[in-house]
């Protein structure tokens, strides 16, 4: 579903409407204060834990490589998240309509989304089966609010789905159901569709309200560096010394308790975010897709054959070498779209559209002009790339 109808509705609200009356900045500041008080009302942060054995973390660490340049930021994020079965929540003060210009992303779901986020100066946090994307202050405050929900209010997991153009008030009413959602009358806006599976009801409420908390306008920053949060991390491939250095670089007063299975860290939310990202990035280290076995999804893109070939070669960890006789043909525009296809299939398809041949030689992919006689048997190529969509009109006559 196209989302252009909502792309301009995530600007900062200077004045909006709520139940037919105009709301000024003073009212919005008071609303923001109420929302903030609700989000940090708990005085004792509950204990949460991070483990690579959890389904959510496994999905974030799954292999994924993609090229999404030209797509609107929100569309690009959601295409990766939906493909991986991951729920994502974007800060409403980040413009979702700016085209992506990040090059190839991957080699895991988390690092792919992180590279898109980095291209817009956004931060990430994986927490309670949700991946938060947005301004650093907003991500930290929202994460702290979620981790501060008392244990006694948890245990009510629900599926949440609302259609495109749902208002914040409608979303809150659906999620809160019979629970006490507080005296909130949220500003009018239209939000994109969501589909959250088995999320804690109180977490969903916190996510909705967090969109109206002015994280950057507050001076005490309780979600960032002054508030202490306790979280457990399963011992894993990251050495304890390195984990400790990353944590304390963000919060010099961070405290660690270590057992054979767990690291218990008491630190600022910023430090927990850095530690969580460190652990999720670890799965991508030394990970390069097997060109004949690993498959990935390529969202529709139109670019020159040279650009596509160089980006695909970079994804494979190889150098693209274009022979002089093939330089002109590489300037042709090609269109690609693929699902569950190998890297070699994509390289071969790009080459064939431009009348080229790709030879994999050690650490290089050599691109040369095709022998016309080799193009007389397309049936074999079509059998190799059954899931690829490539308009034949783009091919060289």
- pLDDT mean across residues, the chain: 78
Q: Characterize the bridge pairing of strands 130-134 and 123-127.
A: antiparallel
Confidence of residue 338 (pLDDT cuts 50, 70, 90): confident
For residue 9, which phi and psi values (nearest 5 degrees)? -100, 10
Res 180: pLDDT: 58
Q: Residue 48: its pLDDT value, please?
A: 60
In angstroms, the Cα distances linking 85 to 78, 82, 112, 187 are 10, 5, 14, 30
Report, as an integer, the average pLDDT of 159-171: 94
Nearest to 347 by CA among 328, 332, 374, 366: 366
Give the Å distances, CA to CA, from 315 to 20, 80, 291, 309, 362.
52, 16, 10, 10, 15
Interval 220-231: pLDDT, tens: 444 445 678 999
Number of H helices, E strands in the chain: 12, 19
Alpha-carbon distance of 88 to 67, in angstroms, equals 19
Domain positions in the chain are 4-282, 295-394
Mean pLDDT of 260-269: 94
pLDDT value at residue 37:
41
Per-residue burial over 273-298, b if 16 or more Cβ lie within 10 Å, else e, is bbbbbbbbebbbeebbbebeebbbbb
DSSP classification of residue 136: H
Residue 344: phi, psi to the nearest 5?
-65, -40
Q: Where are the alpha helices (DSSP H) in the chain?
A: 25-39, 55-60, 73-84, 109-118, 136-147, 168-176, 201-210, 240-250, 269-282, 305-315, 343-353, 378-384
Work out the burial of residue 320: count CB atoms within 10 Å of its CB; fewer than 13 is exposed, 13-18 middle, 19 or more buried. Answer: buried
Lowest-pLDDT choice from 50-54, 296-300, 351-355: 296-300
Whether 283 contacts 323, CB under 8 Å:
no
Q: Average of pLDDT values for 128-144?
A: 95
Residue 32 has pLDDT above 80, yes or no: no
162 - beta bridge partners?
A: 194
Residue 250 confidence (pLDDT): 93
Residues 378-396 pLDDT 10s: 443 433 433 344 333 333 3
| End-to-end CA separation in angstroms for the chain | 34
The CATH T-level fold of domain 295-394 is: Phage tail protein beta-alpha-beta fold (3.55.50)
Residue 237's pLDDT is 83
How many CA atoms does the CB half-sphere of 118 hold within 13 Å? 11
| Segment 115-120 mean pLDDT | 94
């Amino acid at each position: 579903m196209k989302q252009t109808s909502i792309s301009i509705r995530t600007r900062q609200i200077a004045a909006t409407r709520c139940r037919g009356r105009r709301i000024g900045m003073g009212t919005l500041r008071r609303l923001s204060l109420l929302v903030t008080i609700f989000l940090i009302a708990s005085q004792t942060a509950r204990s949460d834990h991070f483990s690579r054995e959890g389904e959510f973390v496994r999905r974030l660490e799954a292999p994924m490589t993609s090229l999404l340049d030209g797509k609107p930021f929100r569309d690009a994020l959601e295409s990766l998240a939906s493909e991986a079965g991951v729920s994502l929540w974007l800060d409403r003060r980040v413009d979702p309509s700016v085209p992506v210009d990040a090059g190839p992303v991957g080699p895991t779901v988390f690092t792919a989304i992180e590279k898109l986020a980095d291209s817009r100066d956004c931060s990430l946090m994986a927490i309670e089966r949700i991946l938060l994307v947005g301004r650093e202050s907003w991500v930290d405050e929202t994460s702290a609010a979620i981790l501060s929900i008392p244990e006694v209010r948890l245990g009510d997991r629900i599926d949440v789905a609302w259609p495109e153009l749902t208002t914040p008030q409608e979303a809150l009413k659906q999620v809160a159901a019979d629970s006490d959602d507080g005296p909130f009358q949220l500003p009018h806006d239209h939000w994109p569709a969501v589909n959250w599976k088995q999320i804690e009801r109180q977490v969903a409420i916190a996510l909705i309200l967090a969109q109206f908390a002015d994280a950057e306008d507050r001076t005490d920053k309780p979600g960032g560096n002054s508030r202490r949060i306790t979280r457990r991390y399963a011992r894993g491939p990251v050495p304890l010394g390195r984990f400790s250095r990353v944590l304390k670089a963000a919060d010099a007063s961070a405290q660690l308790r270590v057992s054979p299975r767990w690291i218990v860290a008491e630190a600022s939310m910023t430090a927990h975010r850095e530690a969580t990202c460190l652990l999720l990035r670890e799965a991508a280290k030394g990970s390069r897709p097997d060109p004949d076995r690993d498959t990935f999804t390529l969202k529709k893109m139109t670019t020159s054959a040279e650009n596509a070939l160089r980006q695909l070669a970079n994804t494979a960890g190889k150098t693209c070498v274009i022979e002089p006789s093939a330089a002109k043909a590489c300037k042709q525009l090609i269109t690609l779209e693929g699902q569950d296809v190998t890297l070699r299939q994509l390289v071969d398809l790009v080459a064939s559209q431009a009348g080229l041949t790709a030879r994999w030689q050690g650490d290089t992919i050599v691109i040369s002009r095709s022998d016309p006689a080799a193009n007389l048997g397309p049936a074999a190529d079509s059998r190799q790339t059954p899931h690829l969509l490539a308009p034949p009109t783009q091919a060289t006559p």
